[in-house]
Amino acid sequence: MAGHGSVIENVPEIKQVNEDEMKDKLKEKMMKRHEQRLANMEKRRTEREQASSKDESVAIFTSTFNTEKQRIQLKIDRSNTIGPDDLNNHFDDITGDLQKFQKYITDSTIFLPSYDRKHAQDTVNELNAAVSDKRSELKPKKKFTFSKSKKKDTKVEDKPAVKNENNKLVQLVEQKKEETIGFRDCSSMVLEMGSDQINSNDIGLSKLVNCKVFLRGTPSAAHIDKLTGCTIFCGPISGSIFVADCTDCTFVLSCQQLRVHTTKSCKFYLHVTSRAIIEDTSGVEFAPYNWTYDGIDADFAVSGLDRSKNSWDDVDDFNWLASDKRSPNWKVLPEEKRVASWD
């Protein structure tokens, strides 16, 4: 019976051990629950602070955006009161303001909701269009003039001639600084212009066939039409590029805005800080801009384009209204089909 007595005496001790273990586990569980509660509270506090900070940032952006928009619009509206001799400086000043405005919007996209981003970009595009329209109204440009031969009775200032591989000459003609310069009615030629010719000028390329064109510098805009089988290289353009009626061409372009009309089977190696637009266009492909030349970094600085912002694959087809499918009229050029270097 002594053995049985020994077993009975150990029961309270075992029971006490079990109770202590249960208490320890309960304390541990309660401690974890408390720590989790504190972590959740801290998370909610951080989220509230972030939400508050984001709301505050959006509010500041909206206020600044509206103020700057109104200021630029007032400058555009008062253009009619500016004397003819001061119009160039006036429009250059507005262009500089728009470039800063675009950079402010680009820098703010990190916290802006998608709707606000789109609204802001649409506003900049509308202001750019308004400036262009007002400039055309007050300083109308004659149709750009090009000549392959030098006329004795002309009063234009001749630019240096450009030779192609057959030693033929193309005479560049510029009537006035504000008018368009460029190339027209050329076939199977290599054509070039440098920064001393094209900086701050509008460029025109028209009726070229199987030509290769190199434009090194920072034009203010470019108008390109009726090209076939050409390859066009251009440095950063502070304003817009308009392309129309082109077929089987390759364009290597950098600009603030690109508009393409009635064009087919062309490739665009593009740097653009706003959404590219196509209309009545098909079979076009897009890839990132990849041309380089001596002085291109300085040209980008002069142009005011943001090199970190490139919407090369964000294309709006005005003829495609379906929102749930991408337009079949354009596509991204596959990497394996892209030209890696133009040297």
pLDDT score, position 173: 33
pLDDT score, position 124: 82
pLDDT score, position 178: 41
Helix boundaries (H) for the chain = 2-77, 87-108, 114-138, 195-198, 296-303
* 87-108 and 114-138 helices, crossing angle to 10°: 170
* CA atoms of 297 and 301, how far apart (whole Å): 6
pLDDT score, position 57: 77
pLDDT score, position 17: 61
- Residue with tokens 């400039």, as numbered in its chain: 135
Average pLDDT of every residue of the chain: 79
Average confidence (pLDDT) per 10 residues, the chain, 343 residues: 49 63 76 77 67 68 89 92 86 82 78 79 83 78 42 36 36 41 92 89 92 93 95 93 96 94 97 91 97 92 87 89 84 95 87
Half-sphere exposure of 230 (CA within 13 A, CB side): 33
pLDDT score, position 100: 83
pLDDT score, position 332: 96
- Residue with tokens 């029961």, as numbered in its chain: 11
